[in-house]
Copies of this chain bind each other. A is one copy, B any other.
Amino acid sequence: MFQIKPPYYGAAYYPEAWEPDQVDEDIRLMLEMGINTVRIGEFAWSNMEPAEGDFDFSLMNMVIDKCFNAGIAVIMCTPTCTPPAWMTTKYSEIMVMNTHGERATHGGRRNACANSHKYREFCDQIVTRMAMEFANKENIIAWQVDNELYNNSAEGRGCCCPECMTKFKQVMKLKYVTIENLNKAWDNYVWSLEYNDFDQLPIPRHDVWHHPSYQLEWMEVQAKSYCEFSNFQADILHKYVNVPVGTDMMPFLGLDYEDMNEKLDVIQFNHYRDSSNLWDIAFWSDFLRNLKPVPFWVTETASCWGGGIAPSWHGEPNFGIANVWLPITLGAEANLYWLWRNHWGGQELMHGSLVNSWGRPMHIAGEIKQLSAGLKKAADMINGTKPINNHLAMHFSHLAWNMYQFQPMVNGFDFNARVTNDIYHPLQQIQLRPNVLGGGHALDDYKMIITAFMPCIEEKGLSDRIFNWVENGGTWVIGPMADIRTTTGAKYKQAPFGFLEKWTDVHYNFTIPGGKMFPITYANGDKVDTTSLNYDAYTVTGASKVLASYTDEYLDGYAAITETKIGNKGGRIIMVGTLLAPKSWASFIKNIAAECEIMPVTEASGNVVTGLRDGEFGEVFTAVEVENKEGEFVVPFDAYDILTDMTYQKGQKVNMTKFGVFLMKKK
């Protein structure tokens, strides 16, 4: 009986690009490096189906079996990202079409249209045959659907082929029933834009000055096409295999993580961070672990550098240590590198790896082995605890991301950068780390929720659910730039907010979009900086309270932050009309959180990411240094470090080396 338990530690492996007789040597090296998992098949369609309808699974069977014998687990991937040349040239109608009507040619990857019927037929066959072929392989621990599914287009508009056009029109027809409804939802009465028929909907060319609602809908349909494509493969796999199915996704929100993973079993996540932005993986981990009840997997990350035809960056000593432990401490149970052995040709021949093209260990071999040993040592902790929920949450929405793409609303607004840099990071730096939730996530487990930069709170019924949650005692920090757009990216017509004026006594007067910085002044007289972004001017009536006001120019005397009590269970809505400067934001949230009895993990320097885990294994405190600087933290309880077996006392100040890691079990 094959027995591999998490943590899974391994790499992507492409035996199809090498001589078959090299597999033994590769496995020998893997074992030497301490790897227990490989991810295979990802791009090997031409190997498994070398000609139309001719299937050959001999290489994959051989590799899987040799891995089995070596005690190495396998994540089996469907190779649909890379249709073979016999398909792309004979059936060119499957290829992605750009906004100018040109089909992609053979030569790249993710170049077939997710909506192509012919392509779907071929995918159906290869996935079905693979599922049947490998269903009984005991060391296959999971499947991966395709690779980094996304609307693959240099133009950022997905595929514009006739099948996609037809689908877009069908979806619009289903959604709106009449073209008048569509015109009314988008406000097409500007510029005589209204359509008379769904068939008139155009291709989203960049050289046409297009309507933001139209562009939003187009990209949402494209995104959903990838969900369907993934589900279509998952449905096949679920018929034949009993292990979890996932799809490896990159850290951006072009595809909705909630939607994409709804029918899948495990979150698979690829990222290539360097020391300048590794902290951002704390954010993603805090998001990913809430998507499924089971731990998420890092399916791809760099061992030492990212790259293609040239390396694009270079990790400092021990960067790899923090890079692996950070997501593990925050909820992952797998780390797989891209890639095992450097390619000897092709578009990515200069990417970082574990061994170079000649099977010689890379410079980071020592770190790899150290990690392997550490993960083994921490296995019980990883499997026997989970990050705790401190009842603080913040929202992070795919719909918002997409909406801002086509209407930034304030000059140069970058949704992802704003949410991570300005909302999350200041809190992380004071060790007050929220769970990050998609728009559809349940709210019951939280006492306090921050909803910033979410133009539409009707997404997935959130508006109903959150008001109910507030009435039941929740503290909701809402804004800036939230509840100001319908699901299709238009403004509400009767009021600036969809709901907030109904729910509170706060009256919106006007907005100054920024440019100049206007400070705000708290009720106690403290004056703090903001970030020159979107100044809503409020006035308050009734029982609502002004928490902070403006004092300058047009804004003088208007409220910037207000609080309204809701219901009789302590619920309240705190409206934030502008973005505070990072430290002010952290203090503001820390105070409100304290009122909700939500506390930071511990005291630590801002370059350290700390966490708490709990479970049958016991209580665990974790700390990872992520900025290649020295740091420090205060030990929250008497504990010993799982990695070094050293003991520490509660309240002790511990110094951290660059990229250092602590896993402290409570005594």
Interface residue ranges, A against B (CB under 8 Å): 14, 16-18, 43-47, 51, 79, 82-86, 89, 98, 100, 102, 104-109, 111, 154, 186-196, 199-200, 202-203, 205, 207-214, 305, 307, 309-314, 316-317, 342-350, 356-358, 360-364, 406-413, 489-496, 508-516, 537, 553-555
Chain B proximity of A559: nearest CB distance (Å): 14
Bound together, the chains give a CA A190 to CA B312 distance in angstroms of 20
Given contacts A18-B189, A102-B205, A211-B345, 18 further A-B contacts (CB under 8 A): A17-B190, A100-B100, A100-B102, A106-B202, A106-B208, A107-B205, A108-B209, A109-B191, A186-B345, A187-B345, A211-B347, A212-B346, A310-B412, A313-B515, A314-B516, A350-B409, A360-B509, A363-B537
Chain B proximity of A323: nearest CB distance (Å): 15
Q: Given A17-B190, A346-B190, A513-B305, A357–B202 Cβ distance below 8 Å?
A: no
User: Which residue of the partner chain, among B82, B313, B344, contacts A191 with CB atoms under 8 Å?
Assistant: B82
Bound together, the chains give a CA A203 to CA B511 distance in angstroms of 47
Closest to A43 in B: B191
Max count, chain B CB within 10 A of own CB: residue among A44, A188, A347, A496: A347
Residue contact B195 to A85, C-beta cutoff 8 Å: yes
Residue contact A314 to B513, C-beta cutoff 8 Å: yes
Closest to A154 in B: B207
Closest to A203 in B: B105
User: Which residue of the partner chain, among B203, B312, B356, contacts A496 with CB atoms under 8 Å?
Assistant: B356
Closest to A51 in B: B196
Chain B proximity of A297: nearest CB distance (Å): 23
23 contacts between A and B (CB under 8 A): A16-B189, A51-B196, A84-B192, A84-B196, A86-B196, A102-B207, A104-B208, A106-B208, A108-B191, A108-B209, A190-B348, A209-B347, A210-B347, A212-B346, A212-B349, A307-B411, A311-B410, A311-B513, A312-B411, A313-B411, A345-B489, A356-B496, A358-B496
Residue contact B345 to A190, C-beta cutoff 8 Å: yes
Residues of B within 8 A of A194 (CB): 46, 84-85
User: Which residue of the partner chain, among B195, B362, B491, contacts A345 with CB atoms under 8 Å?
Assistant: B491
Max count, chain B CB within 10 A of own CB: residue among A196, A362, A508: A196
Residues of B within 8 A of A555 (CB): 363
Bound together, the chains give a CA A342 to CA B106 distance in angstroms of 48
Residues of B within 8 A of A210 (CB): 107-108, 347
Closest to A204 in B: B107
Chain B proximity of A415: nearest CB distance (Å): 12
Bound together, the chains give a CA A356 to CA B507 distance in angstroms of 14
Residue contact A192 to B79, C-beta cutoff 8 Å: yes
Residue contact B345 to A89, C-beta cutoff 8 Å: no
Residues of B within 8 A of A14 (CB): 190
Bound together, the chains give a CA A510 to CA B514 distance in angstroms of 51
Bound together, the chains give a CA A100 to CA B103 distance in angstroms of 10
In the complex, the count of this chain's copies comes to 3
Interface of A is mostly: loop
Residues of B within 8 A of A356 (CB): 496, 510-511
In the A-B complex, the 5 residue pairs with the smallest Cβ-Cβ separation, listed nearest first, are A187-B345, A108-B209, A46-B192, A190-B346, A314-B515
Closest to A554 in B: B363
Residue contact B107 to A214, C-beta cutoff 8 Å: yes
Bound together, the chains give a CA A639 to CA B438 distance in angstroms of 67
Residue contact A17 to B189, C-beta cutoff 8 Å: yes
Residue contact A363 to B510, C-beta cutoff 8 Å: yes
Closest to A494 in B: B358
Chain B proximity of A535: nearest CB distance (Å): 9
Residue contact A410 to B43, C-beta cutoff 8 Å: no
Bound together, the chains give a CA A43 to CA B188 distance in angstroms of 11
Residue contact B411 to A310, C-beta cutoff 8 Å: yes
Residues of B within 8 A of A109 (CB): 191, 209
Q: Given A310-B412, A350-B407, A553–B107 Cβ distance below 8 Å?
A: no
Residue contact B193 to A107, C-beta cutoff 8 Å: yes
Q: Given A187-B346, A510-B361, A105–B309 Cβ distance below 8 Å?
A: no
Closest to A311 in B: B513
Bound together, the chains give a CA A343 to CA B210 distance in angstroms of 15
Residues of B within 8 A of A412 (CB): 310
User: Which residue of the partner chain, among B100, B411, B553, contacts A317 with CB atoms under 8 Å?
Assistant: B553
Residues of B within 8 A of A17 (CB): 187, 189-190
Residues of B within 8 A of A46 (CB): 189, 192-194
Residue contact A200 to B357, C-beta cutoff 8 Å: no
Bound together, the chains give a CA A14 to CA B187 distance in angstroms of 12
Residue contact A513 to B207, C-beta cutoff 8 Å: no
Bound together, the chains give a CA A493 to CA B311 distance in angstroms of 20
Bound together, the chains give a CA A412 to CA B314 distance in angstroms of 14
Residue contact A358 to B311, C-beta cutoff 8 Å: no
Residues of B within 8 A of A343 (CB): 187, 190
Bound together, the chains give a CA A346 to CA B307 distance in angstroms of 40
Max count, chain B CB within 10 A of own CB: residue among A14, A79, A491, A494: A491
Q: Given A154-B207, A211-B347, A411-B311, A202–B491 Cβ distance below 8 Å?
A: no
Q: Given A189-B47, A317-B553, A213–B345 Cβ distance below 8 Å?
A: yes
Residue contact B208 to A554, C-beta cutoff 8 Å: no
Residue contact B408 to A310, C-beta cutoff 8 Å: yes
Chain B proximity of A23: nearest CB distance (Å): 14
Closest to A515 in B: B314
Chain B proximity of A505: nearest CB distance (Å): 16
Residue contact A358 to B191, C-beta cutoff 8 Å: no
Bound together, the chains give a CA A207 to CA B95 distance in angstroms of 13
